Structure 1
Amino acid sequence: MESNAQLKLILLGKKKAGKSASGNTILGRDAFMAKKSSKSVARNVAVKSGTVDGFPVTVYDTPGFYDPKMSTEEIQQILEKEIQKFELGPCVFLLVIKADSFTEEERKTVEKIEKLLGEKRLEKTWILFTRGDELQDENMTIKEFISDTKALEKLVQKYDQRYHVFNNKKKKHSDQARLLLVKILQRSFGVKGESLKKIPTFLKNIII
């Protein structure tokens, strides 16, 4: 399969939102350094490729906003330089938000990212909630969590219900990454069916 037929998934969000861990969940391996630490994990964009159920993807892990070691201006400059590269082929932006509380800092992060991407790119942006394991522990669904916070409910409505939730504590390949890809390909690219293994044979005729 041609390299430009890979779907690019760009992880954006606040520091410690779970971007690196989500990249690992998508690829089904420890591709990105993901650990709880006061130290900055990524100062530049990290890039790793792999497959999800046979479907080729390239994942971009970007520096997180509100990192005490990096200014907002530094992060914006890095992302502005990279965004045009992301769009050389099919891509989707994943706005990573923790499913525990939608703080003022997180709300401001969303605003910064939206401003950076611009109106047109928001159409190919999805919300990826992390900490799905904590929701399970509390016996709460992602829909219930969203409806509990008005600001978050409005955000999800703004993105036309384009969202997914990850439990990043599940190791190796899991069905949650496949389901995310199926949702994206169906809603963002009009691909029919749920078998990712069949998609690459005609992907380039549809979305490139």
Structure 2
Amino acid sequence: MGYKLSGKSSAGNTILGREEFDLKRSAQCVRRHGEVADRHITVIEAPGWWINEPVAFSPELLKQEIVLSVSLCPPGPHAVLLIIPVETRFKDYLRKALQGHQDLLGERVWSHTIVLFTHGDSLLDTSIEQHIESEGQDLQRLLDKCGNRYHVLNNQNRSDHTQIEELLEKIEETVAQNNGCHFEIDRKILQRINNKRRAKERMQQERATLTGNSPQPPQNALHTSEYFG
């Protein structure tokens, strides 16, 4: 999860150790698999929002895709990685945008969230702890929301497998803190999205009937059937 150009695709490629995610922006969720450090890993990239865009201004389709992303690995992901580039000057509007979009998944998501700082090479000789302290209270408030869980990733140094192994260990620690449970979104949230999509499909079919055109397959029809049968 993260805003556009935050390094989500690059982070996914670094985790899997190969080019699996297209760096071009996508309006839909993307799911990829791989074997990493003797583990079978599923990585899902949710579409991003503009950095200064409050959740209230985000397109409805984007918000639906964010919610449905957690259903692409049933029964749910073990961790949600919230992507933040290290060089980003963290301000209150950014914190509110990040929290607002993350909150679409419900309050429980924060106990499964790890902040993943990308572009770790930008730190140079500065430690991540020094960087967090220098950014002030807005970044710390976000970290407090997810139990002060964070990790740094250098996408320019994919040969360093240690950084991925450490990330996987932190994910396993997060799972242990949640009593071995994955994150499962409230079914009521998913049902609301399902109802909205079905209503939109009906409107499209009615509009097509009135104009005498054959109804087009609804956008993301595959998603709807996959998630809800």
Distance 1:85 1:31, change over 3 A: closer
Deviation sequence 1:104-130 (CA, Å, 0-9, x none): 553233122232021112111111011
Residue 91 in 1 paired to residue 78 in 2?
yes
Instruction: Please list, as runs of the form range in 1=range in 2, the aligned pairs for 1:42-191 lying within 5 A after superposition.
Output: 42-66=26-50, 71-100=58-87, 101-136=89-124, 139-149=125-135, 150-172=137-159, 174-189=161-176
Distance of 1:173 and 1:27 partners within structure 2? 12
Instruction: Please tell me the root mean square deviation across aligned C-alpha atoms, in Å.
Output: 2.5
Shift of 1:84: 3.6
Deviation sequence 1:124-181 (CA, Å, 0-9, x none): 1111011101002xx1111111111221122212322211010111135621111100
- Compute the TM-score of the two structures, normalised by the length of structure 2: 0.68
Secondary structure of the corresponding residue to residue 79 of structure 2: strand
Distance 1:159 1:82, change over 3 A: closer
Check conservation: 2:103, 2:109, Cα contact below 8 A.
Answer: no
Greater C-alpha radius of gyration: 2
Check conservation: 1:25, 1:173, Cα contact below 8 A.
Answer: no
% same residue: 33
Distance of 1:85 and 1:53 partners within structure 2? 22
- Compute the TM-score of the two structures, normalised by the length of structure 1: 0.75
Structure 1: which 4+ aligned runs deviate by more than 4 Å? none
**Higher relative contact order structure (alpha carbons within 8 Å, sequence separation ≥ 6):** 1
Paired residue total: 175
Check conservation: 2:13, 2:21, Cα contact below 8 A.
Answer: yes
Distance of 2:154 and 2:71 partners within structure 1? 30
For structure 2, the residue ranges without an aligned partner over 5 or more in a row are 183-229
Among residues 21, 33, 42, which one is paired with 2:10 in the alignment? 21
Distance of 2:159 and 2:61 partners within structure 1? 33
> Relative to total residues, which structure has the larger helix share, 1 or 2?
2
Check conservation: 1:93, 1:126, Cα contact below 8 A.
Answer: yes
Shift of 1:87: 4.7
For structure 1, the residue ranges without an aligned partner over 5 or more in a row are 1-11, 35-39, 192-205
